[in-house]
Structure 1
Amino acid sequence: MSLRPSTIVSTLLLCLTATVLPVLAPAPSLAAPSLTAPSLAAPGASQRPVPNADSYTVLSSGGYALPVLDNDETSVLSNGELTLCGVTVDEETQDLLYAEIDRDDPSRVYVETSRTAYGRVTFTYDACQGDRRATTTVTVTIIRLLPPTVTKKQNRRAKLLVENPNTDATLLFRWGSPRTATADGEKGVGAGRRKTIKVTRTRIYWVAYVRDQGSIVIAGDGTVNKIRKARR
């Protein structure tokens, strides 16, 4: 165990007062040896953050905040937190998908898909840590919802038949006044199912939608005219 310089001097003075030494050897140097901290990085460690590719499935006409940084890795050779520092969408994809750094949560990428979007598209984002930057690709699979079929039931007054052609999504069907947008009612129509609804107006406006990951996605809308009122 090394002694502090003051401790070494005190010890030497005690020895000199206790006994007379014939010859005192030169005191050893008290300077600490030069130490170089070993590198904590494994051989071949990346000097840049490592953003890993992502893939998501979304619906057309929807808006989503994608947590793209969740599976990314930081570099031990850079300081600071991992942040999003850029999003790029090529011209061919821009008609189908819009993407930017989310304004509410800058660690996510906010995307909006057009109502006619369908299929698989990609965009890239940059992850930054300190002055280091790296890019990776996000693949987005866009599913387009089919609109329901809404018809007047034959020989049934004030009744409409709503058919959901989607085999993997329940639609919420809302109807009401076409002039004031006042809602008269709402019902869920299961995937691949049909449902009869009772209305009180001779003309209604309807909209069918789903809630997906916090986003309201419109599947279709329209009007039905000349509905016969129920007999009193």
Structure 2
Amino acid sequence: MPPDYAEALAVAGTDVPGRTTPAAVHKSRSFVRSAPIRSRFPVHAMAFHPRRSLLAIDTGRYDGGYFFEGELLLPHLKTGVFTSLIEHELGRQVLGLEWLDEHSLRALMAPPDDWQDEAVHEDGHVAVAHRSDWTAVLAQSLNGRDLAGPRAPAPRPDPREAAQRAVAELRSVRQAQRPVPSKDLRGGIYVNRMKRSGSVTNGVCERGLMIQVKARSQTFDANPSTRSKPNGSGTSRKLVGV
């Protein structure tokens, strides 16, 4: 890894359906961010090139019906320009990767599809791509031959677990957005403040003072023994603290 990125940290966001996944590199000392990108697919792994200012990013997902789609991204950390390397228009899901040396990149690839082979959801293909200079590699230049390799176990997370996590996140967001009555704490007594149908409930929370409730021009004492009654004029008598 170049000295400028010896203590760098590559970070990717979580996958949110319908949105792109952010990824970037942060320098641990200066907190400077470089090479911010947004991937169309979830990010599974990232690996710094051993000599160049490059970061390999593997992405992808199963489309739910047939194809394993994805990209192998190669951003240049200094220029911010990134290249999508897989030739096929749908790409290919990449499950893992690592640099073997400055010329060789090993990737664990999902098959293109699951046609008549359900075991492909638990397997992958180990491919090793070789380039003399990865800084000069062209977009969509990794073809089927580059990505071919022996079959190997590659278990994926259970999609039901991902669905359960998504439901839990949505539930927590909904609960956070639910309106909650504000509360005052004075002297250790809680009173809610609410507004409904034109009446306003105000809580005065002091130990030794009455809790006054104003609703339709009537004032009530929280203490039944000292509760006053409205007079005939439609207004309330003034309440004095006990």
TM-score range, shorter chain: under 0.3
- Scaled by the length of structure 2, the TM-score of the pair is 0.22
Higher strand share: 1
Q: Which has the larger radius of gyration?
A: 1
Determine which structure has greater relative contact order: mean sequence separation of CA pairs < 8 Å that are 6+ residues apart, divided by chain length: 1
